[in-house]
Amino acid sequence: MSDEKNLPDAELARLMQDISPAAARQLDAGLHAFASTWLFNGNFMRCRACGLSQMASQGARPFNHLEDCTSASTAAPYPWRELANQLQSLATVVR
Residue 58, Cβ neighbours under 10 Å: how many?
15
CB 55 within 8 A of CB 46: no
Instruction: Determine if 27 is a binding residue for Zn ion (CB under 5 A).
Output: no
State in angstroms the smallest separation of the CB of 27 from Zn ion. 25
Angle at 20 between CA 25 and CA 27, to 5 degrees: 30
Instruction: Determine if 76 is a binding residue for Zn ion (CB under 5 A).
Output: no
Q: Please choose, out of 24-32, 35-43, 47-55, 87-95, the segment that lies near Zn ion by the rule CB under 5 A.
A: 47-55
Interface ranges with Zn ion (CB under 5 A): 47, 49-50, 65, 69, 71
